[in-house]
Chain A
Amino acid sequence: MRNFLMVLLLMPAAALAQPAEGAFNLTLNIQQPLYKDFVGKSSAGMRVGYTRFSSEKFGWGIEAAYNTLNDYVPRQTYTYPGGAITTDIFNYMYYFTLLANAQYYFRASDRLVPYVSLGAGLAVTRYTLYYNVYEEGDNNRSWVVRPETGIIFRIRPYSALGLKSALSWEYAGNKSEAYDIKNFSALAFQLGIVVFSD
């Protein structure tokens, strides 16, 4: 009987002692810019990634994210030497990132795994101004860094399916001199699924 109880008590630990080899994740990415330079409204985009677990504590991976951020500037007159222009403007920021990241996992239980992550990589940004039927823009490639903290939750022990929720901050060196826009920074909240490849 005592041996049986020991087996039951050790089962979760045994489960954790056999981490998945890797995991795909697909999340909704709700991004809130931390500046009002060009876009200020929150935006819902997508993020997809793959993590390779090198141990129970560490993992590394890649992830790609895409968000379209936009904002509306009401009609006003802009004056400049030699003239003026009156229009309303729809500012759009098409923002794609591709990052490599490293993760550290904390164990809360066999199914709940908080983690912290640090990613760095490439940001591809297209700033576009739409006014009436006209549009103009500026393309930009830059670096981006993204620290993140989150929780991975396995539906059941050994389940291939899990949920992920995370909060991240990111900073990209994608300032636009053409439009006098500063580097972009934002908070992002993610919620999505994780598929473990055991």
Chain B
Amino acid sequence: MEPDLGELVQDMVVQTRYDQESVSPTFNVFGTYDKFTMRIDTMGLVSTRYRDTLLVDGSGQDFVKSVTRRVRDKFLEAGYTRVTPQQNPDFAVNVILLDNFSFFQAVNYAPFYSWYWGYYGYWFPYVTTYSASYGTLVIEVVDIKNYAANGNRYKVIWKAFIGDIYASIDRNSKTLEAVNQAFAQSPYIQKD
């Protein structure tokens, strides 16, 4: 006996995590940032089924575009300015779809990237449980400003996990609601 799936997937689960060295009662790295860079209209794809690493909307689809633009808008609302990678951004934002991975809480990542722009430096996530046909949207903030202070590495300081993307009855609007919630429960993402 289990709950009805239709009731279960009314709203998506939104989990956010922050680096506790970067965000603490005495220090908030987000207050020191000014500029960010991110791709819109395309999304990273990490999949156990597909070799593609980029996701774009197909004909008549609006998922990737609307989600990435909503993420961008939330950072703009927080007071940051979007710039190109060549304009010395303080942080980068990655939006990735984890396809066909199991329970998102069991997904672990290397906390550093060797490359901040795009998804080429994406370290393949380590999944501790069995594979399953779930879709999880991941939003990441990568610290560029403190690259040297972090030992010449790009540290991931904030992650949002949103799921399940596939089971949702109203995927687009529920995903956008979930993106809003990710920022609502992360009030420290705010420019001073």
Question: How many pairs, one residue from A and one from B, have CB atoms within 8 Å of each other in the complex?
Answer: 70
Question: Which A residues are in CB contact (< 8 Å) with B9?
Answer: 132-133
Question: Which A residues are in CB contact (< 8 Å) with B17?
Answer: 82-83
Identify the closest chain B residue to A83 (Cβ). Answer: B17
Identify the closest chain B residue to A86 (Cβ). Answer: B14
Which stretch from A87-95, A150-158, A186-194 is at the chain B interface? Answer: A87-95
Q: How many residues of A contact B (CB 8 A)?
A: 22
Kindly state whether residue B13 has any CB partner on chain A within 8 Å: yes
Cβ-defined contact, B3 with A70, below 8 A? yes
* Mask of B99-114 contacts with A, CB within 8 angstroms, 1/0: 0000111000000000
Kindly state whether residue A130 has any CB partner on chain B within 8 Å: yes
Question: Which A residues are in CB contact (< 8 Å) with B28?
Answer: none
- Cα A68 to Cα B3 in complex, Å, equals 11
Kindly state whether residue B53 has any CB partner on chain A within 8 Å: no
Kindly state whether residue A131 has any CB partner on chain B within 8 Å: yes
Cβ-defined contact, A134 with B104, below 8 A? yes
Kindly state whether residue A10 has any CB partner on chain B within 8 Å: no
Question: Which B residues are in CB contact (< 8 Å) with A94?
Answer: 1
Question: Which B residues are in CB contact (< 8 Å) with A133?
Answer: 5, 8-9, 134, 163-164, 167
Task: Report the contact-size class of chain B (Cβ under 8 Å from the partner).
Answer: 20 to 34
Kindly identify which residue among A68, A70, A82, A86 contacts B18, using a CB–CB cutoff of 8 Å: A82
CB of A136 to closest CB in B, whole Å: 8
Residue with the highest number of chain B CB atoms closer than 10 Å, among A68, A130, A132: A132
* Mask of A15-58 contacts with B, CB within 8 angstroms, 1/0: 00000000000000000000000000000000000000000000
Kindly state whether residue B15 has any CB partner on chain A within 8 Å: yes
Cβ-defined contact, A84 with B167, below 8 A? no
Question: Which B residues are in CB contact (< 8 Å) with A87?
Answer: 11, 13-14
Kindly state whether residue A75 has any CB partner on chain B within 8 Å: yes
- Can you list 30 A-B contacts (CB < 8 A)? A77-B185, A81-B20, A83-B15, A83-B16, A85-B13, A86-B14, A86-B15, A86-B181, A86-B185, A88-B10, A90-B3, A90-B7, A92-B1, A92-B2, A92-B3, A94-B1, A130-B2, A130-B8, A132-B9, A132-B12, A132-B164, A133-B5, A133-B8, A133-B134, A133-B164, A134-B103, A134-B104, A134-B105, A134-B134, A134-B163
